[in-house]
Amino acid sequence: MTQSIRIINKIAKDVLKKHNDERICLYDLGFQEYNESLKTQEQIHSYIKEKNINGIILTMNYSNLFTIGKSGKKSDILVSQEVLNKKGINVYESNRGGEITYHGPGQLIYYPIINLKKLKIKPVEYVRIIQKTVINSLYDFNIQSEHENQPVGVWVKGKKISSIGVRISKSVSLHGVAINLNCDLKYFTYIIPCGIKDLNLTNIANETNSKCEKNDFDNSFLKNFNQNIFNL
């Protein structure tokens, strides 16, 4: 049984169990190979569309890698293939929106796969919901952040802490958001992140004295996402 089938079976059981409770649930897949995670997203996307359910959120971890979105270009990689090989960094072209970014250990990844048509949410509104969810969740750990007057993402004192790149297919979302928890920021210096030269970046560990583990942030993100998407 493939991973995506196991997840789909669990979703089906959860939907039956919860009956009228249509809140979004989060599923932690642990460590993932990037291409395998894309296949899982696509299969769950098809299931959500077919069954017309509200959706779910996937979270996972990756080894060090770069993904290039539909607006990105390989010339935004600033190091040679030899350096990439030595550092063990793989590069993947992705069908999400946006440009090039980094994923790796110490980063929080959330992929909401949401039935926007059923929930009557426009794509632009959906991106704002993700931004607001990240801002609300950072605030839970005493971090003031913003997205106004900045490129897409979430920022702390002019430094980017979160990148957003989504794809909408058949009115159901894929991909999502990456938030820097305690990742090694040096990997961003190997690229022009988000196509922005001289971009300053930060992570949660640098911005708060509050203890923040992945499970803590998962709970905060899920709570705030449900509040924002359902206007609770």
Query: Residue 95 corresponds to which tokens in the numbers above?
Result: 């069908």
Mean pLDDT, the chain, whole residue set: 92
Angle at 59 between CA 220 and CA 213, to 5 degrees: 45
3-class secondary-structure state, position 111:
strand
Does position 232 have pLDDT exceeding 60, yes or no?
no
What is the CATH number for 164? 3.30.930.10
Q: What is the pLDDT of residue 179?
A: 98
CA 2 to mean position of chain CA atoms = 22
Compute how many other C-beta atoms are within 10 angstroms of the C-beta atom of residue 216: 14
CA distance linking residue 93 with residue 111, whole number of Å: 17
* Catalytic (active site) residue 183: no
Range of the domain at 87: 3-230
Q: Into how many domains does the chain fold?
A: 1
Name the active-site residue from 25, 183, 194, 212.
194
CA distance linking residue 121 with residue 126, whole number of Å: 6
Q: What is the pLDDT of residue 206?
A: 95
pLDDT tens, position by position, 65-74: 999 999 999 9
CA distance linking residue 208 with residue 180, whole number of Å: 13
Q: Are strands 65-68 and 90-93 parallel, antiparallel or unpaired?
A: parallel
Side-chain-side CA neighbours of 28 within 13 Å: the count stands at: 11
- Indicate yes or no: pTM above 0.85: yes
Mean pLDDT, range 165-188, rounded to an integer: 97
pLDDT tens, position by position, 139-171: 999 999 988 777 789 999 999 999 999 999 999
